[in-house]
Amino acid sequence: MKKCMFVFLILIPLLTGCWDKRELNELGIMLAMGIDKVEDEYRVTAQVVVPSEVSMKTSTGRTPIILYQENGETVYEALQKITKESPREVYTGHLRMLVLGEDLAEEGIAKSIELLSRYWELRSDFYVAIAKDKTAEELLNVRTTIENIPANEMFNALKTPEATSTSTNGFTLDELIASLTSAGKESVLTGVLVKGELEKGSNKQNVESITPSVQIKYDDLAVFKKDKLVGWLTERESRGYNAILNKVHNSVTAISCPKGGKATLEIIQSDSKMKGKMNKGKPEVDINIKVKGNVEEVGCQINLNDQKSIVELEKNTEKQLEKTIKLTIETAQKQYKSDIFGFGEAIHRSNPKEWKKIKKQWDEEFPEMTANVKVDVKLVHTGTEGSSFLKKIEVK
């Protein structure tokens, strides 16, 4: 008993406190990281918070962030150089955004993110995006308006677009690596671009104006083949991709009315089911999507009290959505030859033995496979008026 007590007393000092404790006032918190390829080296850009400028008590009105850039033969080497350059230890545990340059993405992103997948200090819940038509360094040098820390504005914009848009989406590092390593699914990432006069983006005046000279904007989806960027989906195709992958939570879309003109629908619920199968030795997928929506705006001659008119509007919506989805699939199959939807995974789930036979030839099978698309739309609410007051104006 005495021997046990002695051992316990010896261990007490080792069990208390944090052996690797670091005080907040000793750290530089990195919230965004950019990686570009410059000739044969990686250029890492770190967007680091200036602690005194995010504090209400000590702020002097200077910029709340500072950028550090260094080159290295590897990403880790560049990061180590940044740590030496900064007066504080750069801490990556609160990273919110990783931005990859378009040139790097075209060459291949696997090597540049390999470190990040294993780095013990990093959480993997940050978003990854591609800097479209610009370098990651240029994009991270733009000051933002709503949030004074650009990384926070970019992160929050990717968390909330599902409430208003269907052409963008946030993809975390875990999701990216899962698709990169899957035998039956290729990767996509959201594109982010600089809108306006880039050279004015880092100026304080950019955030002091009602109409900023430069803004950061998310722009559709980047298509990958293995780890290389091969092209971009259009806005319409990006909406189709999100519909197939069940990533539509709430969105707005304009639909053609039976007798001409447009009506605007709010999609309040979308449920997509994908099922793989083999038909006469050939792979197929069935995609069934059920949509619920509300009529929000009417710019055409239609009586919403008439059930026949509602049915016609539902059928028109179904046709338009089916057309968009088929266009998206055709683009992926014929133009990029990249299974970004996970059709291969669907075949694997339903027919593992058959998948084993065609797995190695999936690059040849995917562009020729059949995708059966069925959309069912139900309009739930049509507002308080049966028809638009526009009709009353016309007959006045």
Annotated domain spans of the chain: 22-232, 235-396
| Spatial contact of 156 and 147, defined as CB atoms under 8 Å apart | yes
Helix ranges, the chain (H): 2-15, 75-85, 102-107, 110-118, 136-139, 150-159, 173-180, 235-244, 307-330, 343-350, 352-358, 362-365, 390-394
Judged against a pLDDT cut of 90, whether residue 201 lies above it is answered with no
Give the number of other CB atoms < 10 A from CB of residue 344: 25
Polymer length in residues for the chain? 396
pLDDT, position 260: 82
Does the domain at residues 235-396 carry the CATH identifier 3.30.300.210?
Answer: yes
Tell me, letter by letter, the H, E, C secondary structure of 24-78: HHHEEEEEEEEEEEECCEEEEEEEEECHHHCCCCCCCCCCCEEEEEEEECCHHHH
Quick one: pLDDT band at residue 391, thresholds 50, 70, 90?
low
| Spatial contact of 383 and 295, defined as CB atoms under 8 Å apart | yes
Name the percent of the chain lying above pLDDT 70. Answer: 81
Quick one: pLDDT band at residue 85, thresholds 50, 70, 90?
confident
* DSSP assignment string, 160-213: SGGGT-SS----BHHHHHHHHS-TT---EEEEEEEEE-GGGTTSGGGGTSSS-S
| Spatial contact of 216 and 194, defined as CB atoms under 8 Å apart | yes
Which range among 73-87, 112-126, 287-301, 338-352 has the greatest average pLDDT? 338-352
Q: pTM for the full model?
A: 0.85
Quick one: pLDDT band at residue 198, thresholds 50, 70, 90?
low
Q: What is the mean pLDDT of residues 213-221?
A: 83
Q: What is the mean pLDDT of residues 88-100?
A: 89
